[in-house]
Structure 1
Amino acid sequence: MFKKIFTVIAFLFLSSVAVSAFEFSADMIMTHETGGKTTSKMYSKPDKFRMEIKAPEEMIVITRIDKKVIWNIMPGEKMYMEMPFSQQNKPMVEEKFEGEIERKYIGNETIDGHPAKKYLITYKSGKKNEQVYQWFATDINFPVKTAAVDNSWVQEFKNIRIGSQPDSLFDVPSGYQKFQMPGGMNFK
């Protein structure tokens, strides 16, 4: 169970930047150079975000910026773990990259049916500069694809549906028990 929890925490770190101001649902596919692929379902409202991860076991991560909290929900165990929200845990669904220094226009491409502008983005990560490619869909003002320059990872959004999302998606389901780390380890 701890491996699953820390996998989600690492996944959230890789998905860091800022939350969108509009409501949508989408499939998010994260591919790694090792051949690993993670598919999740994502839902978003202003200051609220939900990610449903199916493999290896079902896990739901709800980020509530309005409450400054993240809930890692384990449906199989009917349990959840609460962690404090930090800026590093915002999902990557805006045009501007966290720590962005430079944005260079590369060209136009179509990604999953959306006309997109491709950019080479340089951003500050700790003490060093990193680079990624970003495909920003001009029809929906959304980053439909982001990839490491060395192609070590790619994040794509598919089946994007813009529209209202139920508030119930962004709360811990009733009947779930709060899980505490052994030995009093706490994230707060």
Structure 2
Amino acid sequence: MKYGYTLIAVVCLALALALPAYSLEFAADMIVKHGNSKQTGNTAMKGEKMRTQMTGQPSYTIVRPDRRVTWMVMPAQRSYLEMKYDPNQAVKAGNAPKAEVSRKLIGSETVNGYPAKKYEVTVKTEGKTERIFQWIAAGFEIPVKTAAVDGSWSTEYLNIKKTAADSLFEVPAGYSKMSMPAMPGMPKMPRH
């Protein structure tokens, strides 16, 4: 389970580095590489709403800043956990707004069948500067690939659709809300 949360955090970080804030709508399959691990899944965004599901995981995550909630949906149990979405926590988790400092065209490459221009992009966040590569394909608002310059992580999108159904960002009808299990020695979570 911890691996799943780490992977979701990596995906969110890659999206935060790659995408302009809250202006997109798309759905796509994705390949996420972090170190020696590789996972596949799918993701969708519409405005500030985001959904991520990794292949082989028993749950998927829907982030709804507009409702100040994050849902972890578990289809096998027909249930979901609801957690408060705190924008300040999102910033601490690596989703701070990124300010692009520079962008330099390096060349052209084909990524997953998409002819793309490769850029080296420098972004600054929370006082730190980071360099990433982005591959931008004509006709898409998202990079078809984003990667750390040092190769430590990458996110690739394929089978990109320019729309995402509203239903992707809602808990399915008939699912039961689960309570967050109490941890020994921890105070009870406040109810909403």
Structure 1: how far apart are the matches of 2:145 and 2:171?
A: 29
Residue identity opposite 1:7 in structure 2: T
SS in 2 for 1:15: helix
Residue identity opposite 1:28 in structure 2: M
Aligned residues: 178
SS in 2 for 1:168: helix
SS in 1 for 2:66: coil
1:144 aligns with 2:144: yes
Partner residue in 1 for 2:107:
107
Structure 2: how far apart are the matches of 1:159 and 1:83?
A: 32
Identity %: 37
Q: Tell me, which stretches of 5 or more residues in structure 2 are unaligned?
A: none
- After superposition, the CA RMSD in angstroms is 2.8
TM-score w.r.t. the length of structure 1 is 0.78
Written as runs of structure 1 = structure 2, the 5 A alignment for 1:48-63 is 48-55=49-56, 57-63=57-63
Structure 1: how far apart are the matches of 2:132 and 2:51?
A: 24
TM-score w.r.t. the length of structure 2 is 0.77
Partner residue in 1 for 2:177:
177
Residue identity opposite 1:25 in structure 2: A
* Runs of 4+ residues deviating >6 angstroms: none
User: How many Å apart are 1:69 and its aligned residue?
Assistant: 2.5
Name whichever structure is richer in helix by fraction.
2
Written as runs of structure 1 = structure 2, the 5 A alignment for 1:71-90 is 71-77=71-77, 78-86=79-87, 88=91
- Bigger mean CA offset, 23-32 vs 152-161: 23-32
Structure 1: how far apart are the matches of 2:181 and 2:4?
A: 11
Q: Tell me, which stretches of 5 or more residues in structure 1 are unaligned?
A: 92-96
Partner residue in 1 for 2:48:
47
